[in-house]
Chains A and B, each alone.
Chain A
């Protein structure tokens, strides 16, 4: 029992640190990817190739003057970014990062908690993230922030519906809500994306909207609402909001990979001449490759497509994605019935 608690503590810490590290270097990667796509060089002053840039940025964020408006609700003003950060970090616990690692008589799964309602937990926590934005915008006592927060939360709530509906079809296929179980089912090359291409597309689009990434980055709106929900935020509190976005990208990449792209499964892994702990570590690396690809994909889309107008965003969410997701559920049901899988 003591070993179990120690192991889980270490794993939680590791996932926490990895999330922070990946998020920090996502900011650097974002700038580099943007630069390369625009035929520039990007940050290259701090350290070789600028790899110390996230440290410099972090230091700058901490050293900057922190301003809390006197008319704001101070408690909620601080709670906003904390909630955004907390909810972003909480989702990492149900992601299966790899197979089991066996040491002696003990078997350590590379997943913090394989709860049987894994996806529901993710959705619960993600929808909680809306509070971070809403509270932040409201506590600023600034009507631009308030409007920005309203826009952001209505966007996130709208897209969560389509996202949930897209997942319903997937869950009909897998028959389980546990992320560990869903990943285990995708052994081999027939990943869920093969069975659920439309569902994957809807899920991907909604993931962009949920993480407030371009082309759905309407919560940040320099032109219309000064700066959006975080207009009044400065220093590391603004940093937390921006940082939470990058953690969200990391976690959504992990969840997209586990739900639709086989998670830590390597194709033909059962035919590989290795097994046990080495295979687990390889699986972890392979999973990370998929995550990094999706993080790159997020950036790729961001630097390609312009931002939506707000009514277009709402039209897409309510009039196109939700009917499509419902159609997907129906089609999946009919197909499963026709193939006698019910």
Chain B
């Protein structure tokens, strides 16, 4: 199968006198390099200019909160099981009375750590999560000179209550459509649940 039209058959023949001089070949090479002086550089001046990334770029993780500001993660551990690089570890704890505004369900992650040096940003954690809690964002993980700093705990992973991270760019139309299916428990918000309960009462 022909893939390109640049195929060249290698022939082991004696070089002609002109070829043996090498000078025409050198001149040819030099015109090529000279032409490159006037070409546009391919460099992206990183700190000033950021390269455009695709909408589905998988960068640093975020642990989402729900619409009431409670953490969605219930420390089920499915993300850690799904993780091929074994980058995720967590400790589960039971929600105490009075913490209902902090954690969405009775179980929550007391410790949730992702080792960014191990993570391969495959996105399987995001797919495995039944609670829509973990997502990969378009943010690039900053570098560090220290290995310890690269283990991201909840302080770095859980989104800020006041500045929720917009993930709409990352969602494919299929996912958006699926999330509208309120019969799936993990797609329900507290409001939805209230509405459903009311509906059930009426029936």
Does B144 interact with chain A (Cβ within 8 Å)? no
Contact of B42 among A33, A37, A39, A304 (CB under 8 A): A39
Q: Answer whether residue B41 sits at the interface, using C-beta atoms and an 8 A cutoff.
A: yes
Contact B33 A300 (CB under 8 A): yes
User: Are A303 and B43 touching (Cβ within 8 A)?
Assistant: no
Measured between alpha carbons, how far is A300 from B33 in the docked complex, in Å? 8
Residues of chain B contacted by A36 (CB below 8 angstroms): 36-37, 41
**A6 CB–B CB distance under 8 Å:** no
A274 at the interface (CB under 8 A from B): no
A10 within 8 A of B: no
CB <8 Å contact, B41 and A35:
yes
Task: Say yes or no: is A2 at the interface (Cβ < 8 Å to chain B).
Answer: no
Nearest Cβ in chain B — how far from A292, in angstroms?
A: 15
B33 and A303 contacting across the interface, CB-CB below 8 Å: yes
Residues of B within 8 A of A223 (CB): none
What's the Cα separation between A300 and B36 when bound, in Å? 11
Question: Max chain A CB contacts within 10 Å: which of B26, B36, B40, B45?
Answer: B36
A39 touches B45 (CB 8 A): no
Interface residues of A: mostly helix, strand, loop or mixed?
Answer: loop
Do B33 and A304 touch across chains, with their CB atoms under 8 A apart? yes
B42 and A40 within 8 A (CB): yes
Count B-side interface residues using an 8 Å CB cutoff: 14
Interface size in chain A (residues, C-beta < 8 A): 14
Hey, what's the 0/1 contact readout for A299-326 against B, CB within 8 Å counting as 1?
Answer: 0110111000000000000000000000
**Residues in chain A near residue B42, CB distance under 8 A:** 39-40
- Quick check: A41 and B45 within 8 Å, CB to CB? yes
Given A39-B42, A40-B43, A41-B45, A304 contacting B26 (CB threshold 8 A)? yes
B173 interface residue (CB < 8 Å to A): no
Is A70 an interface position by the 8 A CB rule?
no
Residue B147 lies at the interface, judged by CB distance under 8 Å to chain A: no
Contact assessment for B39 and A300 in the assembled complex, using a CB-CB cutoff below 8 Å: no
User: B30 in the interface, Cβ–Cβ < 8 Å?
Assistant: yes
Nearest chain A CB to B202 CB, angstrom units: 68
Inter-chain CA distance A301–B41, complex, in Å, is: 20
Among A35, A39, A300, A303, which residue has its beta carbon within 8 angstroms of that of B40? A39
Given contacts A38-B36, A39-B36, contact A300 B41 (CB under 8 A): no
- Measured in the bound complex, the distance between the Cα atoms of B36 and A304 in whole Å is 11
B34–A300 CB distance below 8 A:
yes
**A303→B32 CA distance, assembly (Å):** 11
Within 8 A of A (CB), among B1-57: 26, 29-30, 32-34, 36-37, 39-43, 45
Query: Are B43 and A37 interface neighbours, CB within 8 A?
Result: no
**Which residues of the partner chain A approach B39 to less than 8 Å between Cβ atoms?**
39
Task: Give complex CA distance A300, B27 in Å.
Answer: 11
User: In the complex, what distance in Å separates the CA atom of A35 from the CA atom of B33?
Assistant: 11
- A304 with B30: in contact, given A40-B42, A41-B43, A41-B45 (CB under 8 Å)? yes
Residue pair B43, A305 in contact (C-beta under 8 Å): no
Question: What residues on A are CB-neighbors of B33 within 8 Å?
Answer: 37, 300, 303-304
Query: In whole angstroms, how far apart are the Cα atoms of A33 and B34 in the complex?
Result: 10
Does B43 contact A300, Cβ atoms closer than 8 Å? no
- Among residues of A, the one whose C-beta sits closest to the C-beta of B29 is A304
Q: Which residues of B contact A33 (CB under 8 A)?
A: 37
**Chain B residues near A41 (CB-CB < 8 A):** 41, 43, 45
Q: In the assembly, what is the distance between CA of A35 and CA of B45, in Å? A: 14
- Point out the residue from B26, B36, B45 that lies within 8 Å of A305, measured CB to CB: B26
Name B's A-contacting residues (CB within 8 A).
26, 29-30, 32-34, 36-37, 39-43, 45
Q: Chain A interface (Cβ within 8 Å of chain B)?
A: 33, 35-41, 44, 300-301, 303-305
Q: Given contacts A36-B36, A301-B30, A305-B26, could you give 11 more A-B pairs where the C-beta distance is less than 8 Å?
A: A33-B37, A37-B33, A39-B43, A40-B43, A44-B45, A300-B34, A301-B26, A303-B33, A304-B26, A304-B30, A304-B33
Which 9 residue pairs across A and B have the least CB separation, nearest first? A304-B33, A41-B43, A37-B33, A304-B29, A36-B37, A37-B36, A39-B42, A41-B41, A304-B30
